[in-house]
Every structure is written in structure tokens, then in C-alpha cells.
Chain A
Amino acid sequence: MEFGLSEEQKLLQDSLTRFLKEQVSLDHIREVAAGESNDAMAWSGLSELGIPGLIIPESHGGVGLGMLDAVVVAEALGYHITPGPFISTAVIAPTMLMAAGQTERLTDVAAGQYRIGVALSEAIGSRLDAGISVTDGTATGKALFALDSEADSYLINGPDHSLYWVDAGDPGFSRKLLTTIDKTRTICELQLNKASVQLVSADPGVLLAGIDAGRVIQAADSLGAAQCMLDQAVAYSLQREQFNRVIASFQAVKHMCAEMASQLEPCRSLVWYAGHAMATASDDARLTACHAKAHLSEVAQFVARTSTEVHGGMGFTDLVGLHYWFKRIGANRQLLGSPELVREEAARAQNLVA
């Protein structure tokens, strides 16, 4: 019995962390946020490490690892609030395409040469008048908050939880970037006007598999980001002096940090387990994916707020840059379902809803 990461998983985390420490600095995040740079640098570096093909089978040029490995990667990416489309193109899209048996583009994805965005918001809870209708292989309508504004193609939720594929170069396709608080990943609105679409699957299970995988990865991303905010709070409190002592020696500050650590540490086990449950297709995979996403949304939000408070006025400024983590955590909370919606799905998954 072993509840924890394998030696290989620790090595994966270490090598990834080394790369992120060197290449994805706060200065780089600032450039991306200011529009002076984009996610290409980080993504090509991650491609050299094989990250886009992490869960894609070796027969399709991938690394052939599982969801727990993806969790390990996401935790590290979240810690460094890494720009890029890991969640959409490396996890959600391959999960759905493999579930549907449509694997022809996965080799390009694994090579880091092809990006597949996902537009699933309407499957979870449609806002405004979003949604697409499909007739005779063409789709019309719009999808809001699609992940990755630079993708080569998109997987879109269609009627009755079906899944369609549209090429970004199709004459009936257009997209526009939606500005959000989180500048480390891009979100866009897709407009389809008689765009050619290809049915990926009419089985709602395919769509759900992608959503669940995405939720586990978001939970891991928030876990990493929150851990970084806690570490920054402790480090800052050990160096900032007031009343002739470091503020880390004040019980009020110590208790804020202890509360963050106490709530966050058990999350690690929940997220690891959710990844493991999905990798082994356990019966509780859906339930634990929902709980991981909802619980991490709550805990990471608490950490984001509390860490900012420990930094005092500096936490509120742009100078320290803490707000980039705050906003990443805030985005993870809403994407693929806010905690209330996800808990309701968790209730349904155990037949608690009449």
C-alpha cells in the first residue's frame, strides 16, 4: 500500500519545477499580462519536456502517463502560474478524443504543434443566449468562455451533451478574446455561422469525462497556486518588521498562516486521490473530481485572500505581484462550474437529488 507519489512522479515534478523556476519568472508573467509576450515561450519549453503529450499514448507520440501524473504537473504549473493551454489541449481534449476513439490529431498535439481548445461552459450551465444548434454538419450559435484563444481547433458542447469539433480556419468560424482578470490563460467567445463541424460523440459520457478531468486539473492548479501564496506569506512575514520584530512573531499572523496550512494540506491528498481515481476508472472518480474542484475552489480562495492580508498594503499593490496568483485562483473557481454548481453535481452523482 502506498498513498503518495512514486519516485518517477517526484522526478517529473522536480524537473518541471526546475524549468519553471528558471523560465517562468514573475517578470515573464508581467510581460504576458501586459501583452508584450504570450504563452508561446512557456509552451514550447513544456513541449520539449513532453508535457503536451503527457497522457497521450506512446503509440500516438505521447508519454503515455495517467491522470495522477497530470495532477502532479498541474500542481507545479499552478505554483508558478504558468501561462499556456495545458488544461485544454493536454488534458481535456485528449481525454475526450480518446474516450470517443478519435485519435488522429493526437500525434500533433503530443508534439506541441497543434492546440485544441474546449468550449464546454454551456454543458455545465448556459449563460445568456449561448449555445449552438447543428443541422446537416454545420453549426450556428455561440459558445462563451472557450479555453485558449490561440487554438487551432475547438471541441464544442452541442445539443444534448453531444460533442462537436470545429476548425479555427473554417469560413463560418470567428472568435474574439474576452478580457478577464486572469492574464495567464486566454479565454474567448466563439461565433459559429454555418461552420462545418464534425461530430466527435453523441455520448454524454465523453463530454463528462473531459469535464471531470478538467476539474481535477483545475483543483491541482489551485492547490499549487495556493501553496505558493502560503509560502510567500510565510516568507514575507519572516522578513517584514513592525514594532521592532518580524511580523511572523505575532500570534495573529501566525494563526492566519496556520489556518491556511491546515486547510490546504489535506487538499493535497484529496487532489491526488481524485487523480488516482480517474486514472484507475474507480467508481467514485466522478464524485471525487467534483469534490476536489469545489473544495479547492473554497480553500484556495481563502488562502488567496488571507495571504494577501498577511502581506498588508503591499499585498494589494502590483509591486509584489501576488495578485496574479489571486486572479488565477479566482478564474479556476468559476471555470468548468462554480463550487455551488459542482457540489450539486456531486449530490446528483450519489443520488441525493430527487
Chain B
Amino acid sequence: MDLSFGPEYEDFRDEVKTFIKDNLDDQPKPGAGPKSEEVRQWQAKLIANGFHSRTIPAEYGGFGAEPDIIKSRIIAEEFGAAQMNTGFSGQGISMLTPVLLEMGTEAQKQQFIKKTIHGELIWCQGYSEPGAGSDLASLTTRAELDGDEWVINGQKIWTSTAHISDWIFCLVRTEPEAPKHQGISFLLFEMNTPGIDVRPLVDMTGTANFNEVFFTDVRVPKDQIVGHRGQGWQVANAILGHERGSLAPPDAAMARLNGVIKLMQEETISGERVIDNPIFRDRLLKLQGRVMAMQYNDMRLLSATINKSQDTKLAGMVVKLIGTELRHEIECLGIDVMGEIGLSYGDNPYLRGNGSWQYQYMYYLGLIIGGGTSQIQKNIISERGLGMPKEPKIAQTGV
């Protein structure tokens, strides 16, 4: 066990700190739009200094450094501690770019990666459908080849940022006769193509975090496909793994838990601080122990990416399940320590933390369901982690 990163990394940390100190005042102002000049320039500066798109090759507009998980972590730690603007995020950067690097053609890499990481192209992800949630591979949005074009008909749901996206990466069924996992293709197309209708989907938080997207005879050039026809499932799975772990980072959970401590020190019940109430305090401490376990689990996973001799398969599989459930409970305690004040939402004058406690409490219920529900996670853990068999298929009737 050696938890120090070593002297060369401490030098790197100093570099990051110096950049932050020198550039604190150059950050985009709060509220600056994603297409504004100051946001674009900031993004370019982050990439040029290796603090964004660090490992993306320079020929595709990235910084071109060798992958180094510890340096990435140091950047995240220092930017987080200084609350420094970390530049663009989103599914184009976190999900599509890695897939193009791995499976895209040279022309696709040239066409999309640089513009995507510089924030010039915003992407949304067209995977889930009303009839294809946990069983994503049963999706039915169809694309048929007509000359040099795909003609797409169907519907997607849970499509974040569809209303502001320039392009979509989308799973469609191109081989209806093939087994369900082998009949899917991964297409890329512009959101302003005729035949696309985006409708916001208001969720329980009161916000439209997602959209429904309808396709009616949407015509897309034939070569806008990643991988071959029928390979779309493998392409999509290569990046779903990226999404799951990142939904519930334990450091963010600890930051939120520390927020609950502050709240408990400030809020009072009949003049007594909530932190002095042993029942609430015990709930807090229970959660703290659980978050700590996830933080050290995370360090173990980080370490295993460097030293591959450790078997951390199970440790990685549980992060989404435990992390999202835990976060939901932390937000719940935040509400409970406030009692009726915790009901405040919107313009209520007693609102605490800008309404984030109720919002996050509901939002994390969404994340318990999204990205593979807790029940699907348990199937994966029991089958791939513990070697238990799949549920036998029920013989289909009349299909």
C-alpha cells in the first residue's frame, strides 16, 4: 500500500495549481452561453494546456498526451478544489469521441473530433425507446437503405440535450431479420435534418432534463455509420461502460455529505442544532462510513488501472448501483434535517441551497433508474461478477 503519487506527480500538481492561479480571472462569466466567444476561447485554452481532451491525439485537435490516470485525477482534484471551470462536457465528448477514436473511419475522426471537443458540435445520444429500456437491444427504430441514403422511422426517449444538439449518434435497426443484437447499426446525423421532431419531456423535478425525439422518413447519407452494418450493439457497448461508473463519483458524494454536516450545524429544532440530535447524527455517521468505503473502493479501482495484477472486476461493477442509491439517501437526509423547511422549492423564501436538496433527491432517483436500473445492475453483478446463470427464457407465444 502506497498512497503517495510520487515526486514527479507533485511537480505536475504544482503546474496545474500555477495554471489555475494565473487564469482564475479569465474563466467565462457565469451564464455565458455555450456558443459565446469567451466560452470557445476558454475551451481552446484548456485544450492547449492539456487540461481538457488531454489524451486525444493532436491531429484530431486534442493535447496529445499519453494516458496517465494519475495526472487526470490531479487535474480533476485541483480544478474541483478551486471550483475552476472545466470546459465543455456532454455525451459527444464523454461517449462519442472515445468511440470514434476506437472504431471510426479516418474521415469521421477528421470531420467530428476536433469540432466536438472544441464545443462547436453538441451531440445527443439516441439509444432508449419507449419499448426498449432495460432490454435496449429490442429497439425498433428502423433504417432502410434507399439508394445512397438511410431512411429512418421511429422514436427515441430520454434524449438529454436533444433540443440544443447539432448532431445525434443513434442506434437503429438495419437488419430486421437478424437476431436482435446483430441487427443494429450506429448512425450519425444532423438534428436539423427534415423529419426530426424534438419534444421536451418534463420530469418529476419540474425540469425538462430529457426529450422525446420522433423520426419520420429522415434521410441520412449512407456513409454516416460507425462500424459495419449490424455492428451497432458492440459499438454502443464499448461506451456504455464509460457512462455507468461516472454516474456516481464518491468524491462528489462526500462533498454533498459535508454539505449535510454544514446544514445540520446551521439548522435548529426548537433551538437545538440538528447536529446535536443523536438520532440524526447517527444517520449521518452511518452514511459517512458508507461513502468512505466507496471512496477507498474508488482508489482501489484507480490503482488497478495502473497495476493490472489486481482483480477489481466486482469492485467496479458495484459503483453505479451503490453510488446512486447512496447519493439518493444523502440528499434525503439533507431534506429530513430541515423538516418542513425541506419541502421548500422554487420561490419559497425558506429555500436552502438553492433548492438543490429536493432537486438532487429526485434527480438521483432518476439515476437509480437511468443508465441501467438498479435491478439490471444486480443481474449484471450476479451473472458476470458471481457466475450465476441467466434467467431461463420464457417460450414466446404468437410473435
Contact = CB atoms under 8 A, between A and B. Distances in A.
Interface stretch (B88-96, B142-150, B301-309): B301-309
A257 B382 contact: yes
A81 B281 CA distance: 33
A259 interface: yes
Nearest to B323: A266
B318 interface: yes
A1 interface: yes
Contacts of A257: 382, 386, 388
A258 B381 contact: yes
Contacts of B389: 238, 246, 248-249
Given A255-B375, A340-B282, A4 B300 contact: yes
Interface stretch (A11-19, A39-47, A343-351): A343-351
Given A245-B392, A266-B315, A3 B281 contact: no
Contacts of A1: 2-6, 70, 302-303, 306
B289 A258 contact: no
Q: Which of B290, B307, B315, B375 has the most CB of A within 10 A?
A: B290
Contact of A249 (B378, B386, B388): B388
Interface stretch (B14-22, B234-242, B271-279): B271-279
A354 interface: yes
B278 A344 contact: yes
Most-contacted residue by chain A among B1, B286, B306 (CB, 10 A): B1
Contacts of A6: 1
B288 A346 contact: yes
Interface string A316-354: 000000000000000000000000100110110000111
Contacts of B294: 266
A5 B292 CA distance: 19
A200 B171 CA distance: 72
A272 B296 CA distance: 9
Contacts of A2: 1-2, 303, 306-307
B297 interface: yes
Interface SS majority for chain A: helix
Nearest to A248: B388
Contacts of B310: 4
A258 B292 CA distance: 20
B164 interface: no
Nearest to A249: B389
Contact of A261 (B314, B390, B392): B314
A295 B388 contact: no
Contacts of B273: 354
Contacts of A272: 1, 296, 300
What range describes how many residues of A lie at the interface? 35 or more
A238 to B, nearest CB: 7
Contacts of A346: 285, 288-289
A254 B6 contact: no
B261 interface: yes
B383 interface: yes
A291 B282 CA distance: 12
Given A4-B1, A254-B378, A270 B292 contact: yes
A288 B182 CA distance: 49
B201 interface: no
A197 B315 CA distance: 49
Contacts, number: 156
- Most chain A CB neighbours (cut-off 10 Å) among B6, B284, B285, B387: B285
A173 to B, nearest CB: 38
A245 B392 CA distance: 9
A288 B286 contact: no
A270 B293 contact: yes
B66 interface: no
B263 to A, nearest CB: 13
A309 interface: no
A268 to B, nearest CB: 8
A349 to B, nearest CB: 10
Contact of B296 (A255, A273, A340): A273
B39 interface: no
Contacts of A251: 379, 391
B100 interface: no
Given A238-B388, A257-B382, A258-B386, A269 B281 contact: no
A241 interface: no
Nearest to A250: B391
B382 A343 contact: no
B388 A265 contact: no
Contacts of B297: 265-266, 268-270
Nearest to A293: B289
A179 interface: no
Given A1-B306, A259-B378, A249 B282 contact: no
Contacts of A344: 278, 281-282, 285
Contacts of A246: 389
Contacts of B315: 265-266, 268-269
Given A238-B388, A352-B275, A295 B1 contact: no
A263 interface: yes
A352 B382 contact: no
A249 B392 contact: yes
Contacts of B379: 251, 254-255, 258
Contacts of B314: 261, 265
B290 A295 contact: yes
Interface in A265-280: 265-270, 272-273, 276
Nearest to B296: A269
Closest 10 A/B residue pairs (Cβ) = A269-B296, A254-B382, A258-B378, A3-B303, A295-B289, A266-B297, A343-B285, A266-B293, A258-B381, A270-B293
Given A3-B1, A352-B284, 18 more contacts: A1-B4, A2-B307, A3-B3, A3-B300, A238-B387, A246-B389, A254-B388, A254-B391, A258-B381, A259-B378, A261-B381, A262-B381, A268-B300, A291-B289, A291-B292, A295-B290, A347-B281, A352-B281
12 contacts: A1-B6, A3-B303, A245-B392, A258-B382, A261-B382, A262-B321, A291-B292, A294-B285, A298-B286, A347-B284, A354-B273, A354-B276
Interface of A: 1-6, 68, 234, 237-238, 245-246, 248-251, 253-255, 257-259, 261-263, 265-270, 272-273, 276, 288, 291, 294-295, 298, 340, 343-344, 346-347, 352-354
